Chain A
């Protein structure tokens, strides 16, 4: 049986949502065009995962109202743990669809850094947002879900770092989901202007056990000439969501991006992390770790596409699969014609903890240029009995030895999360999941 795609919101409802936000005309028009296209465009086709029966379009309600937090003391304990309450100078908290808390240091304000929720940014920094919002990295009409997202954006963040500004302390964002009816159409747009540098760390965390909503998340990072962006993310969304998360980088000359993604959703998830190395000498380092459990189905595509000469891309993906989880890891290094002296490397490894789990690693190198370097390594296997023996020979129990090996296997991302409290939370989430 094929499910007929029914969009949950009409063009009129989209328009009235836009009006209620006092959005500028260009954004209202973008939504209007997008909702039309969403009806016609085909679904994306993630390689090796059939999503025709997944429900990406229906949800109980587009936007829920949540109370903001007047102070960080009001945060639930599990959220407080993610935040260095005293030390974190730059913080945005979104509660379901409501911007619930924001602060930024005076220093960054005086340097012209913009750090605000996306719908405020659309109004207050209209020209800047218009220039980059789904223009460079992700396009509205790529497929049904990008268009649907553009029409329904109801949260997210805008970051702009002006030319030559080095943001020393990380910007932290926490997306809290504590309403089971909430749907998240978050748009994150990070623009690092020439010679700037910024570290951005976000956490998606559900405090509800089971959700009925959609998570359709598009996050764009545009790094202009010689800009450096470190992007850390930890996703811990509840079961019940159908999650489509698209994190895309667009790098100009000599720009660099470091992705560290801890993908720990309990929902069925389609995740894409694509970086376009447009400029000569640009570099992307994409690291992601995944733990799949229960009857979850997930598909993770990491792609680095080389357009610029001397561009370098490194992909590392490590996944742990338990119970009956099914996961596909697509790793793609694509070197376009003309991207001479480029280097595309990738490593995908899957650790299987149960007979019924399934994990497939599909490394691909697509190369249209002769003068390049490329390599890949992939493996799917169980915990190595010789490693277990070695650890146990020092008196460590089998359970503890397995725990050490699994944490070690996921360490490449854990160790690269730039905020200690978020790193600790990721470790705790992994602990809880692999137990």
Chain B
């Protein structure tokens, strides 16, 4: 079992503090949903864990099985087992999807022990079929000209090929129609198991109809303010967030947002 522990995390972007002391522990074989209204720091958490260059961690720790994640470069974090399915994946012209994914897999392997091309293609074909993606997307340039839904599927394709220990899904459900959402959820459910833990960031309960979370956390003002089981998500769907604000005496749930 692996564990990702986030303690007292404070994160700033351009000198504005967005996360203000966030705590979260997740184990493999668990799915955690992080919910909350817009502007409460959910995506900042995802970017800070992965090491986005614009986000500065000013206080607190992130560790995987005792290893200090904050000291690692972005690629080292990935190799330590982290994966972020991004809300806005970059488009990279001239690099085919297949070449990119193969480079990512080989980056985890010793020189001379690269994945064989045939084996790679077989697995890629199989996974693309599973995610109901056109085979020609393997030879298209990375995310270039992909629709919003295609980009999200492509993130899940990478997730399934790379097989990280912990995946963070940053609003993987935004902009998806119901069919695409089902496919994306199918991919994530396929990954669930002993060696895999997941943080699903969303502000819609809808995703959680397809990926049943073990734990649900609500973020406001840059912190986790309430945690519970799947029933918490259902209550949020039925009643919204106001009852939590009232309960906790919060007037404005947002943090000052850059961008």
Residues A392 and B75 in contact, CB atoms below 8 Å apart? yes
A-B contact count (CB 8 A): 83
Does any Cβ of A come within 8 Å of B7's Cβ? no
Does any Cβ of B come within 8 Å of A396's Cβ? yes
Does any Cβ of A come within 8 Å of B73's Cβ? yes
Consensus secondary structure, chain A interface: helix
Decide: A395 near B108, CB < 8 A? Known: A385-B53, A404-B100: yes
Number of interface residues of B (CB under 8 A): 30
Distance of A408 Cα from B103 Cα, bound (Å) = 14
Distance of A389 Cα from B101 Cα, bound (Å) = 15
Q: Which residues of B contact A (CB under 8 A)?
A: 50-53, 73-75, 77-79, 83-84, 86, 89-90, 92-95, 99-101, 103-104, 107-108, 141-142, 158, 162
Does any Cβ of B come within 8 Å of A190's Cβ? no
Contacts of B100 in A (CB 8 A): 391, 394, 404
Distance of A401 Cα from B53 Cα, bound (Å) = 15
**Chain B nearest CB, measured from A40 CB (Å):** 47
Taking a contact as CB atoms closer than 8 A, the residue among A386, A400, A410, A415 that contacts B90 in the complex is A386
Binary per-residue interface labels of chain A (63-84) against chain B in the complex, 1 for a CB within 8 Å, 0 otherwise: 0000000000000000000000
**Chain B nearest CB, measured from A348 CB (Å):** 15
Q: Taking CB as reference atom, which chain B residue is nearest A395? A: B78
Residues B89 and A390 in contact, CB atoms below 8 Å apart? yes
Residues A394 and B92 in contact, CB atoms below 8 Å apart? no
Q: Taking CB as reference atom, which chain A residue is nearest B141? A: A408
**Chain B nearest CB, measured from A11 CB (Å):** 50
Contacts of B79 in A (CB 8 A): 395
Taking a contact as CB atoms closer than 8 A, the residue among A384, A385, A398, A405 that contacts B75 in the complex is A398
Please provide the chain A residues from 382 to 427 with a CB less than 8 Å away from any CB of chain B in the complex.
384-387, 389-398, 400-401, 404-405, 407-412, 415
Decide: A392 near B92, CB < 8 A? Known: A385-B53, A404-B103: no
Q: Which residues of A contact B (CB under 8 A)?
A: 384-387, 389-398, 400-401, 404-405, 407-412, 415
Distance of A409 Cα from B50 Cα, bound (Å) = 26
Q: Taking CB as reference atom, which chain B residue is nearest A411? A: B94
Taking a contact as CB atoms closer than 8 A, the residue among B73, B74, B75, B92 that contacts A404 in the complex is B92
Contacts of B53 in A (CB 8 A): 385-386, 389
Distance of A385 Cα from B101 Cα, bound (Å) = 19
Contacts of A397 in B (CB 8 A): 75, 107
Contacts of A386 in B (CB 8 A): 53, 90
**Chain B nearest CB, measured from A394 CB (Å):** 4
Distance of A395 Cα from B162 Cα, bound (Å) = 9
Residues A390 and B93 in contact, CB atoms below 8 Å apart? no
